[in-house]
A = this chain, B = another copy of it.
Amino acid sequence: MAKAEDFGFGTQIRKSPYFDATVRWGAKAFSVYNHMYIPREFGDPEQNFWNLINDAILCDVAVERQVEITGPDAARFVQMLTPRDLSKLAVGQCKYVLITNADGGILNDPILLRLGENHFWLSLADSDILLWAQGVAVHSGMDVTIREPDVSPLQLQGPKSGEVMRALFGDSIMDLKYYWLRRVELDGIPLIVSRTGWSSELGYELYLQDSTRGDALWERIMAAGQPLGLKPGHTSSIRRIEGGMLSYHADADIGTNPYELGLDRLVNLEIEADFIGKAALRRIKAEGVRRQQVGLVIDGAPLGGPNTTFWPIHRDGAAIGKVTSAIHSPRLKQNIALAMVAVEHAAIGTALEVATATGPRRAIVVERPFYDPKKTLAAA
């Protein structure tokens, strides 16, 4: 079996505490995220998708580095970092938030975990929010401590993940509510578990708090889960695009604002706190956005894989936007994509032309998410 040493990886990019385990369990290819390797293939991405939606998969997402914010002013400081109203965030609760800069541009879209009254984690997408938060703190006059703790999450996702959790932690874990967290132990390994994930399926994240125990934790979960159908896996681009979930840098970046993504619910301009980006976002909201994220269904044969460049979008010969994430969904039997287009062309049903890697194809603007178990797919 391939050993970690065979990959020829240097030390400039970190290895996850689960690295050796994922290689042992069949990881074939890695990407890099937050300066750390992340498994992105276990042989067949489509099989990984079916494993996720029919059973359950265990994914190494140690790349979701945590920014820990503590200290007497921690709660006030965290509210300064995000336009989302945190006044009702209870201890033990999580929220999906945006981190915005002074121009209202999106720097990250983490999960915020409230571990204590003045104890928070930001579970990051791919950018150095540790540096952003430490930088903001320098002249803030607030008493906070900001650091990256020794925390490495796993995602356990899929319809059978609940039964795997029950096997690991007993019946008492079954009442953990969506977007809540709990402190637990497994064979003496200290964990935080939360009912969150990046799959739009039933799912959990397990935040290992001792990187020397990565291998033991992975094996313990697989041993409990395999009889219930659990497979080693990786975050599924198919499922996350079906769910209309963002991939930072692909679908959003520092030049993207929340209104362009239709994420108005994550911005509350009415709160008293003077969060970073408030004035800019107020102005953007008043003026209206010039471009907007849409869903697309792209005609033709199944795409061979995800887009590897931003595909230009045209209408009547004029360039009006770009495809940011595209993939073929074997469940929907459609090519689906997230795209950013000029607002004039964002209406549901609009016909556009996408310059794919293999030539132009017709596409239709549709509603997102593409797949939602609670409703049927919007007709293309």
- A residues in contact (CB < 8 Å) with B: 4-5, 7-15, 31-33, 35, 101-102, 107, 126-141, 148, 237, 247-250, 254, 276, 305-310, 324-325, 357
**B136 and A12 form a contact (CB under 8 A):** no
Name the CB-closest residue of B to A8: B305
Which of B11, B15, B137 touches A325 (beta carbons < 8 Å)? B11
**B10 and A138 form a contact (CB under 8 A):** no
A139–B137 CA distance with the chains assembled, in angstroms: 8
Q: Can you list the 8 inter-chain pairs with the closest CB atoms, starting with the nearest?
A: A135-B135, A32-B32, A128-B128, A139-B139, A131-B132, A135-B136, A11-B250, A132-B135
A-B contact pairs, 24 of them (CB 8 A): A4-B308, A10-B237, A10-B308, A11-B310, A11-B324, A11-B325, A12-B249, A13-B32, A13-B249, A31-B32, A32-B32, A35-B126, A101-B134, A102-B137, A102-B138, A107-B131, A127-B131, A128-B128, A130-B254, A135-B138, A136-B138, A138-B276, A139-B139, A139-B141
Copies in the complex: 2
Name the CB-closest residue of B to A32: B32
Q: Which residues of B contact A126 (CB under 8 A)?
A: 12, 35
Q: Which residues of B contact A308 (CB under 8 A)?
A: 4-5, 7-11
**A133 and B135 form a contact (CB under 8 A):** yes
A221–B58 CA distance with the chains assembled, in angstroms: 48
Q: Which residues of B contact A127 (CB under 8 A)?
A: 35, 128, 131
**B35 and A249 form a contact (CB under 8 A):** yes
**A11 and B102 form a contact (CB under 8 A):** no
Query: Closest CB of chain B to A76's CB: distance in Å?
Result: 13
Q: Which residues of B contact A306 (CB under 8 A)?
A: 10-11
Q: Which residues of B contact A141 (CB under 8 A)?
A: 139
Query: Closest CB of chain B to A282's CB: distance in Å?
Result: 17
Query: Closest CB of chain B to A374's CB: distance in Å?
Result: 28
Extra pairs beyond A11-B250, A15-B309 (6, CB < 8 Å):
A4-B309, A11-B306, A12-B247, A12-B250, A135-B136, A135-B138
Query: Closest CB of chain B to A273's CB: distance in Å?
Result: 14
**B131 and A12 form a contact (CB under 8 A):** no
A307–B4 CA distance with the chains assembled, in angstroms: 12
Q: Which residues of B contact A140 (CB under 8 A)?
A: 138-139
Query: Closest CB of chain B to A240's CB: distance in Å?
Result: 11
**B11 and A309 form a contact (CB under 8 A):** yes
Q: Which residues of B contact A9 (CB under 8 A)?
A: 308
Q: Which residues of B contact A134 (CB under 8 A)?
A: 101-102, 132, 135
Which of B33, B136, B148 touches A139 (beta carbons < 8 Å)? B136
